[in-house]
Structure 1
Amino acid sequence: MGECIKNLSPKVIEQILETSFSWFVVVDKNARIIYINKEYCDFLEVERENVIGKYVGEVIENSEMHLVIEKGVAQIAAPHYIKGNYMLPNRIPIYVDGEIVGAFGSVMFRDVNDWKKLNSHVQKTLEKIDENMKSTMESLNSLPSLIGSSNAIRKIKETISIIAPTKLPVLIEGEIGSGKELCARSIHHLSDRYEKPFVNINCSIIPIDLLEVELFGKWDGTNLKKGRLSLADGGTIYIQEINELPFTIQAKLLKMIQEGTIQPVGTDHEISINTRVLVSSNIPLLDLVKAKKFREDLFYRIQSITLLVPPLRERIEDLPELIQTFINKFCAEAGRRTIKVHRKVLWALQNYDWPGNVRELQNIIQAIVHLADGEEITEDSLPFHLRRKPSNFIRSNGTLEEILSHVEGQVIKEYLEVEKDKNKIAEQLGISRSTLYEKIKKHNL
């Protein structure tokens, strides 16, 4: 076949590519465009001579050609949101002598509706994809996609793939914002319950006196108000911050897990349900059991399968992929081209502790995308606490006590220059408000 292709003149090949039904783009190993046919340019509303040599993400929104090059894995009929529509492109890595030299992308179905007409089964599948895609625009966590390729995330993905098909309860532990709900949704999505409801309840935001009704429902003498356990019948319930559940409700939940029955408030009648229970806590439950603040029997019933979700600072190698994912998401929402990230910005983000984890990163990138004026995220676009450069605090003379006092005064002075709220400054410095005022007075600030 190679010989046959060699017999075709460049003009013949160009004519085939230009008049084909498909839109074509070819990029080099750095994901820069080396060929794009005119039909695709017309759709993108760009001039071909102006985009040759450009990074593909600058020309085609939400492009994943760079990922195909990085991973060396083809993407076939992967839904692609572009200019207000979902299309079905194929993205293929190009190998020469065993090495990736670029990638080839083609759009066969320019509207997902064209493909839906081919097969009723495909139509049902794509309707689900449409629903999930719309949910993504509302919340990143709505799709069970654990972003990252670090060892920690790979192990979690492997564990989820093993435990998802079972009916066993799962305990998910990790810091706030680390992605516990995403793990729960992934478990549900990969189970045989994925077509049934996924019901979420956060025990930390519901008043204690309403928790029992919210979970188990209530009989008012005439009608039965279903609780969330019943609403999840056949599917999965995800109970966030289970450590907030009172002991009496813990006992009822234990019975439900063991016997598959619940007793709504206001009745002695029991109802059978088939609901898988996933729970999470941002406090190690074993510590609460030892402190007699959580039922030991319930703990041992739910902890046989435990997922420990690492904080972002312990998987910082996933940061570039997370950043690019959030940029693509929020640029699509804002209707703008993908923004580049300056290397100094990436360095600053990689050297931050991320106390709010992935959720904090998501919020920061969202703000940057919507506020940035240019096509590149610079240090000036970052919140002050991320771009603040070390000051020359250290003085070379004096006693140790004098040097430390000088440093203390300079630190507090710098905080006061950018933040007027003394409560926030005290919180960031890890001291009380009264101690902060004492130090302000001490240093005449």
Structure 2
Amino acid sequence: MTHNVLVVDDEPKLCDLLASALSQNGISVFTAGNGLHALKVLEVEDIDLVISDWRMPGMDGPQLLAEIKSRFPQLPVIVMTAYSTVKNAVQSMRNGAFDYIAKPFDIDELDITVSKALQFRDILKDNQRMRAELDEHQQIDSLIGDSPSFRRVLQAIDSVRESNATILLTGESGTGKEMVARAIHKHGNRADKPFVAVNCAAIPEGLLESEMFGHRKGAFTGAVTDRIGRFQQADKGTLFLDEIGEMPLALQAKILRALQERVIEPVGDPRERKVDVRVIAATNKNLLEAVANKEFREDLYYRLNVFPIPLPALRERVEDIAPLARHFAHSLGAAAGKRITGFSPQALQAMAHYSWPGNIRELQNCVERATIVASGAVIEDDDLPAYLFASSPAGSGAILNEGARVPPDLDAALAEVEKAYILAALAQSNGVQAAAAQLIGISERSFWYRLKKLGIHVDKIVR
């Protein structure tokens, strides 16, 4: 790994000497003749270590050290001094210096001290990288699924997260629209700014304008103080407008102006306020139908629909039911003081065949109930609510009980059942194919044939 070291000294000959010595070890050396010049270098170059003189005209070593610790707290600094008193050395270490060397210095001693400082820097960088990867992993884990329909959602998130484009999330209730909105915010260029969520259907119509734009004291009965609205709360960040289809027509015009002009007017205050907000809207309604029925403004619809992301229903991503259920079981089990390790194949099969009209929210509630009633570490089919077994298989269009109508394609229906059963066995065996084959009582050769026939890729199932 190539390292960049900045040498700061008002003696050009010493800078040249250090540059020559350090470059022998493959280090790239930058030089500065004073503290102010050094700070300018640090602003434009990726420096791994600063070696600074103690006494310099203008900004001296202690002042430069203080500035570096303030602006670049994880950047190690080695202090050089010809006045190598214990007092100076102790003071520099207390102020955050990594180490010090005395002039005139021994080259071998310099190499050892620099090597230790760069190792320290590498450890800090690795820790930063691992924390960033962990944060990224945790955020991605909050959006669990590897079905083709959900991969399209993840790809859309990746495409739009760094932009400021307005996003419209559509899909049935419970499909995770707010979770997707939060993921876009956390992975985007506004991640360190506020994320403000508003449920447009949960706020009384008479209070919605004040909630969105704020109000001045005395603007209406009950307005006893000034209040800022959600747009100002989300300034520089993200505003999530859930159930946007329930917003009254009168307020839609003001929302449209806020999106177009980036200005708002609090209730009772004619002065405009500039806002910089990235808007993500969500709805479970068909907004085009609402536009046709004069229930939603056409111009607002197109302003919101800059980057649409449709979220699939859970019944359209059957492959994701098992990993989602395991995720909920682990987190909810831990919260309840239980150690849930997984589900039996029969339980997973039952969940895979249910249509989940409430989508992910319903699945979470189902798993929460099961973790409460489960007597062991594995959730059995008996632990699941009875209504799961009285419904039709997800996506099959058939009810497999007495008096049921005949499915339109028996082979397709049987393949769906077979696939769900194999997925359940793979989930229970953590992806070990031989163990999964044993669980369902067939040979490994037969199991591999069925995987190929049904288009199941094990590395995409087990997470």
Normalised by the length of structure 2, the TM-score is 0.54
Q: Please tell me whether residue 349 in structure 1 is matched to residue 346 in structure 2.
A: no
- Contact 1:180-1:309 within 8 A present in 2 as well: yes
Amino acid at match of 2:167: V
Partner residue in 2 for 1:376: 378
Q: 1:288 to 1:361 in 2, by over 3 A?
A: same
Q: Please tell me whether residue 259 in structure 1 is matched to residue 255 in structure 2.
A: no
- Residue 129 of structure 1 and its aligned partner are, at CA, apart by 7.6
Q: 1:121 to 1:353 in 2, by over 3 A?
A: same
Q: How does 1:79-90 map to 2 (within 5 A)?
A: none
Partner residue in 2 for 1:201: 198
Q: Secondary structure at the match of 1:239?
A: strand
Partner residue in 1 for 2:158: 161
Amino acid at match of 2:252: Q
Q: CA separation in 1, counterparts of 2:233 and 2:130? A: 24
Q: Secondary structure at the match of 1:307?
A: strand
Amino acid at match of 1:179: G
Q: How does 1:46-445 map to 2 (within 5 A)?
A: 119=124, 145-220=142-217, 223-388=225-390, 393-394=402-403
Identity of paired residues, percent? 38
Q: CA separation in 1, counterparts of 2:401 and 2:164? A: 58
Amino acid at match of 1:285: L
Amino acid at match of 1:186: A
1:42-79 per-residue CA deviation (whole Å, 9 max, x = no partner) reads xxxxxxxxxxxxxxxxxxxxxxxxxxxxxxxxxxxxxx
Amino acid at match of 1:352: Y
Structure whose CA Rg is larger: 2
- Contact 1:379-1:387 within 8 A present in 2 as well: no
Normalised by the length of structure 1, the TM-score is 0.56
- Residue 371 of structure 1 and its aligned partner are, at CA, apart by 2.0
Q: Secondary structure at the match of 2:281?
A: strand
Q: Secondary structure at the match of 1:278?
A: strand
Q: CA separation in 2, counterparts of 1:277 and 1:327? A: 33
Q: 1:128 to 1:261 in 2, by over 3 A?
A: farther
1:120-157 per-residue CA deviation (whole Å, 9 max, x = no partner) reads 99589969989x99xx9xxxxx9873110011111111
Gaps of 5+ in 2: 1-119, 219-223, 392-398, 405-463
1:382-434 per-residue CA deviation (whole Å, 9 max, x = no partner) reads 11111349897459xxxxxxxxxxxxxxxxxxxxxxxxxxxxxxxxxxxxxxx
1:275-320 per-residue CA deviation (whole Å, 9 max, x = no partner) reads 1111011001111001110001101111121110010001111111
- Residue 334 of structure 1 and its aligned partner are, at CA, apart by 2.2
Q: Secondary structure at the match of 2:267?
A: coil
- Contact 2:340-2:379 within 8 A present in 1 as well: no
Q: 1:299 to 1:325 in 2, by over 3 A?
A: same
- Contact 1:144-1:182 within 8 A present in 2 as well: no
Q: 1:191 to 1:223 in 2, by over 3 A?
A: same
Q: CA separation in 1, counterparts of 2:401 and 2:301? A: 51
Q: How many residues align?
A: 273
Amino acid at match of 1:175: E
Q: 1:207 to 1:121 in 2, by over 3 A?
A: farther
Partner residue in 1 for 2:64: none
- Residue 223 of structure 1 and its aligned partner are, at CA, apart by 4.9
- Contact 2:369-2:384 within 8 A present in 1 as well: no
- Contact 1:326-1:365 within 8 A present in 2 as well: yes
Amino acid at match of 2:145: G
Q: CA separation in 1, counterparts of 2:356 and 2:243? A: 21
Q: 1:144 to 1:345 in 2, by over 3 A?
A: closer
Amino acid at match of 1:157: L
- Contact 1:144-1:185 within 8 A present in 2 as well: no
Q: 1:166 to 1:340 in 2, by over 3 A?
A: closer
Amino acid at match of 2:198: I
Runs of 4+ with deviation above 4 angstroms: 118-130, 388-395
Partner residue in 2 for 1:5: none
Q: CA separation in 2, counterparts of 1:331 and 1:220? A: 48
Q: CA separation in 1, counterparts of 2:208 and 2:188? A: 27
Deviates more, 1:217-226 or 1:236-245: 217-226
Q: 1:326 to 1:299 in 2, by over 3 A?
A: same
Partner residue in 2 for 1:11: none
- Residue 339 of structure 1 and its aligned partner are, at CA, apart by 3.1
- Contact 1:177-1:357 within 8 A present in 2 as well: yes
Q: CA separation in 2, counterparts of 1:240 and 1:224? A: 25
Q: CA separation in 1, counterparts of 2:265 and 2:141? A: 32
- Residue 333 of structure 1 and its aligned partner are, at CA, apart by 1.4
Q: 1:380 to 1:264 in 2, by over 3 A?
A: same
RMSD (CA atoms): 3.1
Q: CA separation in 2, counterparts of 1:316 and 1:283? A: 23
Q: CA separation in 2, counterparts of 1:163 and 1:327? A: 31
Gaps of 5+ in 1: 1-114, 137-141, 396-445
- Residue 158 of structure 1 and its aligned partner are, at CA, apart by 0.8
